[in-house]
Chain A
Amino acid sequence: MTYTVNDLPAILRLLEDLCTREQIDDLLRSIGAARSAPNKKALVRERVQQAFDERRLDLAKAVGMIRSAEEHGRQHVYLYQRVATEGPSLNEALSDETIEVALREIGIFSKLTNPRVLDVPEERTISEVRVERYPKGQIKALVVKQVEAREIPEGKAKREKIRGQLVTSQPLVRTRGVHLVRLQANGVLEIRLQSDRTVDYEERREALRTKLEPLFPAAQFPPVSLASAKRYLWDHRDDAGREFRLSWAKARQSNGDSAVFAVSAPDAYMQDRPTTIASLSTYLDADGAMPDGWIALLNVPKPGTDDFEELRCVLTGEPNEFSLTAQCSEAQYEYALGKLRQYNG
């Protein structure tokens, strides 16, 4: 993939918005570029620009940093699994030829050969298609990225009476939304929608699935229910090593009755609340009862250390859905996804 000077303004804006000063500093240090600057804005606008002008900066590396910052965490993730059908095998489906045919049918083949770095496009746009490969060249995943403009309410809401009506108004801030569809070589398909209170997730998801039908036919990718993972979190809540902390639970009986259990202290373990656990246990002992939703804090590796830190995971909504409420690194996302798939059996 080749990024050009036309992409630079968007790259600079996104570096400033998405990356920490330390990350940008590390990037400049790694290429031997000047790094002194009074603040992050100057570091990006002057030093990163200077590194590009001096031909030290590989824009692909900067795009990689942006990608890592915005593509992991703070998302709703929907899981699907490719099943064998009469059509092409998974290997055939991931071949260069098959991908090209599907992309041309959709009209986005140019996004594979000539991806764009879009800041805040006017319309929802497929900005990039990429094939991720392992160091020895085997395909790892096929990724399609969509970018859109969003208007998020922010700031103090104002209420006023206008002509007999109570009207609430709040300033809107224009921002960028990023969604991904990623097919791994093992057949797992993820649709990852950036979290946003204004988003209709079902509409976004189904619109993406429809648009990308030639690449990821719905009949070949049924949803993967996370019911087993939800049961695992209950059955293994006290396993040695405590890979997760439970903070909220919703349990449902066979007739539809439900109960919610919530821990009060934000940093407490539900597992350490004997009364809550006993009540939840009684509720789940009934025939047909099941854990319907969890908020679990998964222990994930802390970047650059041997320690772990918590990543908040909300398992509610659609049967194949989970959300990560905080931005995380690529490694942390993969770790969390791997754990959930392991728990799901």
Chain B
Amino acid sequence: MPSGNFANTMVEFPQQRALLARLQSLFDQQAEYTFQALVSLVRPPTPELLALLLDELARRGVVVRIFRLESPFSHGGLRDFPSVFDVPNTYYDEDFEREFEVRPENVLPIFRRA
């Protein structure tokens, strides 16, 4: 079972201590962020490094990654999925009574404090 917190992760990844500290500070202020927002706010050396760190934090249960399906009509969130593989190919937006083919731009990776 994954376990751990930011502090434990900083011990195991000392080169990323500053980056992890910025992440912790952000998650202390607000429950969830899009990946793009984290890139903008945390300013990692590369987005790929941030993605790897977030994967590690998710594996440890410090953060949770979900995939949010957004409506192309309302631009609001429709439903959260635990994995990108759970996201359906098409979806019916009940509010606007229209079905749409789910495209990558309709799926928002969200990181949430565990």
Contact = CB atoms under 8 A, between A and B. Distances in A.
A314 B95 contact: yes
Nearest to A260: B75
B51 to A, nearest CB: 20
A325 B74 contact: no
A264 B68 contact: yes
Interface string B59-74: 0000000001011001
A197 B97 contact: yes
A312 B94 CA distance: 10
Contact of B74 (A156, A265, A295): A295
A26 B96 CA distance: 35
A266 B95 contact: no
B33 to A, nearest CB: 10
Interface stretch (B1-9, B20-28, B77-85): B77-85
Contact of B80 (A156, A262, A266, A325): A266
A265 B75 contact: no
A127 interface: no
Interface in A317-337: 325-326
Interface string A63-104: 000000000000000000000000000000000000000000
A325 B77 contact: no
A266 B98 contact: no
Interface residues of A, number: 20
A143 B102 CA distance: 41
Nearest to A76: B97
Interface residues of B, number: 21
B95 A197 contact: no
Nearest to A325: B94
Contact of A263 (B77, B95, B110): B77
A36 B107 CA distance: 45
B106 to A, nearest CB: 12
Interface string A252-292: 00000000101111101000000000000000000000000
A216 interface: no
A295 B95 contact: yes
B68 A325 contact: no
B99 interface: yes
Contacts of A247: 76
Interface in A93-144: none
Nearest to A155: B90
Contact of B79 (A263, A266, A295): A266
B108 A264 contact: yes
A157 B74 CA distance: 23
Interface of A: 153, 156-157, 195-197, 247-248, 260, 262-266, 268, 295, 312, 314, 325-326
29 contacts: A153-B99, A156-B89, A196-B97, A197-B97, A197-B98, A247-B76, A248-B74, A260-B74, A260-B75, A262-B71, A262-B76, A262-B77, A263-B76, A263-B77, A264-B68, A264-B70, A264-B76, A264-B108, A265-B32, A265-B80, A266-B77, A266-B79, A266-B80, A268-B77, A295-B74, A295-B76, A325-B94, A325-B95, A326-B94
Interface of B: 32, 68, 70-71, 74-80, 89-90, 92, 94-95, 97-99, 108, 110
